[in-house]
Amino acid sequence: MKTKIAAPKTRRNTELVLLVVAVAIVLVAYANVGLAVNESLPVDFFTLGGGFAVVAFAFHLVLRWKASYADPVLLPIVTLLNGLGLVMIHRIDLAPGSPDAAPKQLMWTAVAAIAAVALLFFVPDHRRLRRYTFIFGLTGFVLLLTPLLPGIGRNINGSRVWIAVGGFSFQPSEIAKILITIFFASYLVQTRDALSLVGRRVLGLPLPRARDMGPILIAWIASLGVLVFESDLGTSLLFFGLFVGMLYVATERRSWIIIGLGLFLVGAYVAYLLFAHFQERVSLWLDPFQPGMSDQIAKGLMGMAAGGMFGTGLGQGHPELTYFANSDFIIPSFGEEIGLVGLCAILVLYGLLVERGLRAGVASRDGFGKLLATGLAFSMALQVFVVVGGVTRVIPLTGLTTPFLSAGGSSLLANWVIVALLLRISDHARRPTTENEGRPENLGTDDTQIVNVK
């Protein structure tokens, strides 16, 4: 007996409605800043605002065409976050003595969206990425280390995480993050069986075999290398946390988490003992108001406090008094001007974004897709936690960009690519298998084929 199952809806119209709301919020915020600061609508309200809307809706059309079953919430959330980031960067530009960062950010938004669209075109199935597992892995680790190269490496704000080529600076770790996540996912899918084999039991905890400890040790040493040679605590934490999280998901063995946490604590403690830089971070975390020390956390806290429950209103606070108000400290800038309520809304948007990514992982029908979606979503969660936790004193402050909000091209580009990958995986997960009927021309191009048996 055959039961007829209703085909899943594409949900593209839901996405369109949400997208209209997201674009509307951004445009209202932009108008609000102009009215508050100059008491008039921004002169480029219709050109810039219109341009932004065109980019968002064009992306939507591409999804209808190329990934029609993709998750309908991802694009609206990302549009809203990116748009709000643009508005805040523009608002800080208007404060006296601030550089012009908004036009550059707008250009990067367009570039990033185009890159994401290109990815949707050229990667019709995420499993194709598995073919290049080791190329991605190698490129990723090389990119991670490029800032150390003399000549192109740049030391900015105490961390050596930038490269500059021909007057053009870039943070390669952002791109490396994606490549390495793909590599991890592919590698772990292959080796998960071996890694989940149990060796000895210690204190009732089934430990993995000693010979399987290699990968986690390599990841640990690599993150320590980033930490020591590039002085970048945030990136180091992000990579190691990502690896341990993915290892756990791949093997379903809790002992990996315990081993990972142990290694992390040892590494962090040794770094704390060895480097004055980290000791300073920790002591500022415990008390940000110490006289004679950096007052950047203190200034951010005062900004957030000034915002209180509902904020001063866009354009009416003084976010420019905080250092890096449009990059590392953009979260306090939002806290000041749109208040606790607005900041919580932003955090909830991030939470939804991560949740949607994890959901794509759960729904995905292949192990690689599951691990990749989980890894990408988890890396975004870690990054938000590290950067927002740093400015709100949950953890010591480390330098990472706030996804989609911070001024900075490499971060924007990388995060749009992550979203494009998540869209691709969710599209694949929700697309009904029956669609393969009548499309035999696809046969043979994918790694795994679905054979319909009648």
Q: Which residue, among 120, 71, 123, 24, has the nearest Cα to 353 in the 3D structure?
A: 71
Nearer to another protein, 273 or 286 (CB): 286
Residue 450 DSSP code: -
Q: Which stretch binds another protein (CB under 8 A): 42-50, 127-135, 221-229, 347-355?
A: 347-355
Q: Give the burial string for 130-158 (b: 16+ CB within 10 Å, else e).
A: beebeebbebbbebbbbbeeeebbeeeee
| Distance separating alpha carbons of residues 354 and 352, to the nearest angstrom | 5
CB of 344 to another protein, least distance (A): 6
Among 195, 302, 405, 422, indicate the residue that binds another protein (CB under 8 A).
Answer: 302
Residue/partner pairs of 447-452 with CB below 8 Å, 24 or more apart? 447/127, 447/128, 447/130, 448/127, 448/366
Nearer to another protein, 140 or 361 (CB): 361
CB of 331 to another protein, least distance (A): 8
Asked whether position 267 contacts another protein by CB under 8 A, the answer is no
Asked whether position 374 contacts another protein by CB under 8 A, the answer is yes
Q: Which residue, among 294, 222, 212, 206, has the nearest Cα to 254 in the 3D structure?
A: 206
Would you call 161 helix, strand, or coil by DSSP? strand
CB of 371 to another protein, least distance (A): 7
Among 26, 249, 263, 421, indicate the residue that binds another protein (CB under 8 A).
Answer: 249
Asked whether position 276 contacts another protein by CB under 8 A, the answer is no
Q: Which stretch binds another protein (CB under 8 A): 55-63, 142-150, 361-369, 433-441?
A: 361-369
Q: Which residue, among 408, 415, 405, has the nearest Cα to 342 in the 3D structure?
A: 405
Q: Which residue, among 77, 32, 74, 26, has the nearest Cα to 50 in the 3D structure?
A: 26
Q: Tell me the pairing of strands 198-202 and 205-208.
A: antiparallel
Among 85, 339, 396, 409, indicate the residue that binds another protein (CB under 8 A).
Answer: 339
Asked whether position 340 contacts another protein by CB under 8 A, the answer is yes
Asked whether position 335 contacts another protein by CB under 8 A, the answer is yes
| Distance separating alpha carbons of residues 313 and 337, to the nearest angstrom | 5
Nearer to another protein, 147 or 208 (CB): 208
The answer for residues whose C-beta is within 8 angstroms of residue 65's C-beta and 6 or more apart is none
CB of 112 to another protein, least distance (A): 24
Extract the tokens encoding 425: 């995986």
Nearer to another protein, 109 or 379 (CB): 379
CB of 149 to another protein, least distance (A): 34
CB of 381 to another protein, least distance (A): 4
Q: Which stretch binds another protein (CB under 8 A): 102-110, 174-182, 366-374, 427-435?
A: 366-374
Asked whether position 425 contacts another protein by CB under 8 A, the answer is no
| Distance separating alpha carbons of residues 438 and 442, to the nearest angstrom | 10
Nearer to another protein, 152 or 352 (CB): 352
> Are 408 and 157 contacting, i.e. CB atoms less than 8 angstroms apart?
no
The answer for residues whose C-beta is within 8 angstroms of residue 312's C-beta and 6 or more apart is 306, 336, 337, 339
Number of chain residues interacting with another protein (CB under 8 A)? 47
| Distance separating alpha carbons of residues 248 and 255, to the nearest angstrom | 8
Token pair 């949740």 in the structure block, residue: 355
Asked whether position 240 contacts another protein by CB under 8 A, the answer is no
Would you call 171 helix, strand, or coil by DSSP? coil
Q: Which residues are 164's β-sheet partners?
A: 169
| Distance separating alpha carbons of residues 129 and 181, to the nearest angstrom | 11
Asked whether position 347 contacts another protein by CB under 8 A, the answer is yes
Nearer to another protein, 7 or 362 (CB): 362
Binding mask 188-227 for another protein (x = CB under 8 A): ----------------------------------------
Asked whether position 378 contacts another protein by CB under 8 A, the answer is yes
CB of 393 to another protein, least distance (A): 6
Asked whether position 301 contacts another protein by CB under 8 A, the answer is yes
Q: Which residues are 170's β-sheet partners?
A: 163
**Binding-site ranges for another protein (CB under 8 A):** 245, 248-250, 252, 289, 301-309, 317-318, 321, 335-336, 339-340, 343-344, 347, 350-351, 354-355, 358, 361-362, 367, 370-371, 374, 377-378, 381-382, 384-385, 388-389, 392-394
